[in-house]
Structure 1
Amino acid sequence: MSCITKIRQNYEYFTQTEKKIADYVIENSKDVINISTQDLAELTKTSPASIVRFSRSLGFDGFGELKIELVKSLQSFNDEEIDTILKHDDTVEEMVQKIEGRVQNTLEETVRLINFKNLQEALDSIKKAETIYLLGVGASALVAMDLQQKLLRINRRCVFSLDSNLGLATSVHITEKDVVIAISYGGRTKEVNLAVKRARDNGAKCIAITKWGKTPLASLSHISIFLPNNEGELRIGAINSRFAQLLITDIIYLGIAKENFELTEHHLRETKKIVQPLKE
């Protein structure tokens, strides 16, 4: 497990001081490998002793060993950036193996990042909601559509629009009885963030599905469910993030569906019955 992943996995168990150090290390990892314990203590407004305790809480002997592992993590990341998912001379077999490896690693890291307390709080809010509003643009919109059609099949009132302007306009009607699930890997989509801000001002519970870190969307939301921060800035398409988002939304769907399984089963049978003639 990489040093960065280890920090993220243990984040919820850190003290407030340790979280300050963790935030700085993750956001400035390339700089941290070149500074001293004293430097990091000053930059995080903590103490050298706190830096050492933080390092040991992760299983390292001290800050020096943490930096060594951090260098390895960065080298691995850089190798991954250079070794893109698609090369001109790849065979079909090589391409398939690369995708399989990426997807498997992404799903495993997504599960490791789950804060189960936050997930349960999100599920409780969704179950109580009068209407579920979904927000997402681009590839995230496809994930939102997938979740919407699943929720509609089990008779949950769910609103989503592919037109992001309409989605933003709809946010003015969201009330404290509703819940918003905003899906944005980068967490910087203007239409999504503006809609979340309005919904929050209206009293609605807002849930973010976004990459790990202090994204604008995470800051606006009551609950954040984080995705691995492993998608490059220059990418051939949303692959890692899409699979991570689909995993989280499937978990949310199943968490809602199991609440009253007999009723869920009834709704699924009824929806299947109405569309069955179309397949004959």
Structure 2
Amino acid sequence: MADLVQKLQSNAFNLTDAQRRIAEYVIQNPMDVAFLTVDKLATMVGTSTATIMRFSAAVGYSGFSELQKELQASMKHKAAPQTRLEANLKSTTKSELMHQHVEQQYNNIQSSLDSISAETLQEIIKLIAESDQILCTSVRSGRPVGEYLSLGINRILGNSRYFNADTTDWVEDAVTFHASDLVIAVSYPRYAKRISQLLQVAKAAETKIILITDSYTSPVSKYADYILPCPSPSIGSHNSIVSAILIADYILSALAINYPERTKPRLDKINSILTEMSYHTK
């Protein structure tokens, strides 16, 4: 999307009035343009398909389909699941699904690693270790990440709870949010309003916030003290959590390794109780 906007801006003076109208519509409605037919777009803008084709050439594309393909690549993972699936059905080959899946996840992980500095991760580990209470929250596709982090942190440090932000049960606990607490939120497209509401309350209480989301431009990023961008595109219809789980797993490992004086005694006690219960099979 950023590349397309740059092309539109650099060619603005060469566009006709009708083409400028198309450019404005593209910038304001990228999701629609990414998946509309050229005929439908012409109707929406009030112009002809020929004008749209000339517009595409004027801003540096071989045709509207090439312009649309670039938009789809940047927007499809933020669309509704059925829209993502429709777009992916056009761009995937069934005989190469595994290869395309692995390539997509590799790109997600690499993008996440490129976006998160070692210094930021160190600060986050230190913040988690020093917080009184750690409250993990998420909804829907982000829920496995939030629950995994909460379970892991609580096993290691004993001061983490999980909130499903889709329910209002967190409201009673939110009134006790304190500056010494920490909220770790997971939010993916299409960004649930409940997460924003919870983070607003936490922010007002001066509670520190770590946000795991798909990019720095996420609409909930304005509430966060730390952002961990973990891209979520998949070759199906869902938000992928692979890159987020990698980062979450690293956080748990780093906590255990960096604070053994806290984690080892606790793990020993947990194991002792489980052993007395004959919890594990032999």
Where does residue 175 of structure 2 map in the other structure? 172
Residue 243 of structure 2 is aligned to residue 244 of structure 1 = yes
Please give the residue correspondences for 1:192-211 in structure 2 after superposition, counting only pairs within 5 Å: 192-211=195-214
Distance 1:75 1:148, change over 3 A: closer
Cα deviation digits, residues 206-260 of structure 1 (max 9, x gap): 111112133221111122111236458xx52222xx1121122122222322222
> What are the equivalent positions in structure 2 for 1:1-280 lying under 5 Å apart?
26=2, 29-36=3-10, 74=70, 77=73, 82-84=87-89, 90=94, 94-162=96-164, 164-186=167-189, 188-228=191-231, 230=233, 235-239=236-240, 242-276=241-275, 277-280=278-281
How far does the alpha carbon of each residue in 1:92-116 deviate from its partner, in whole angstroms, 9 at most, with x for none? xx43333222222221221111133
Structure possessing the higher relative contact order (Cα contacts under 8 Å, 6 or more residues apart): 2
TM-score by length of 2: 0.65
Seen in structure 2, the aligned counterparts of structure 1 residues 158 and 246 have a Cα distance that, compared at 3 Å, is: same
C-alpha change, 1:140 and 1:128, in structure 2 (3 Å) is same
Cα–Cα, structure 1 residues 76 and 190, in superposed 2: closer, same or farther, change >3 Å?
A: closer
Indicate conservation of the 8 Å contact 1:85/1:95, yes or no.
no
Q: Distance in 1 between matches of 2:88 and 2:197?
A: 37
Q: Distance in 1 between matches of 2:216 and 2:140?
A: 21
Matches of 2:177 and 2:271, distance apart in 1: 30
2-structure distance, mates of 1:272, 1:248: 26
Contact 1:185 1:227 in 2 (8 A): no
Partner Cα separation in structure 1 for residue 111 and residue 271 of structure 2 = 34
- Amino acid paired to 2:231: P
Q: Report the structure number with the largest CA radius of gyration.
A: 2
**Offset at residue 180 of structure 1 (A):** 0.7
Report the residue type matching 1:126 in the other structure. I
| Count of residues paired in the alignment | 218
Tell me if the contact between 2:232 and 2:243 (Cα under 8 Å) persists in the aligned partners.
Answer: no
TM-score between both structures, scaled by the size of structure 1: 0.66
Once the two structures are TM-superposed, the CA of residue 129 in structure 1 deviates from its matched residue by: 0.4
- Residue 131 (structure 1) shift: 0.3
Q: Show CA shifts across 1:164-189 (max 9, x none).
A: 32134422221111011111023732
Structure 1 stretches of 4+ with a deviation exceeding 4 A read 80-87
Equivalent position SS for 2:228: strand
SS of aligned partner of 2:163: coil
Per-residue CA distance 1:141-177 (angstroms, 9 max, x = gap)? 1111111111121133011133532134422221111
Distance 2:279 2:154 in 1: 19
Query: How high is the sequence identity, in percent, across the aligned residues?
Result: 18
Q: What is the CA–CA distance in structure 2 between the aligned matches of 1:215 and 1:75, rounded to whole Å?
A: 17
Q: CA separation in 1, counterparts of 2:112 and 2:252? A: 16
**Kept in 1: contact 2:189–2:239 (CA 8 A):** no
User: Which structure 2 segments of 5+ residues have no match?
Assistant: 14-59, 62-66, 77-83
| d(CA) in 2 for partners of 1:279, 1:86 | 46
Give the SS at the match of 1:101: helix
CA contact (8 A) 1:160 1:167 kept: no
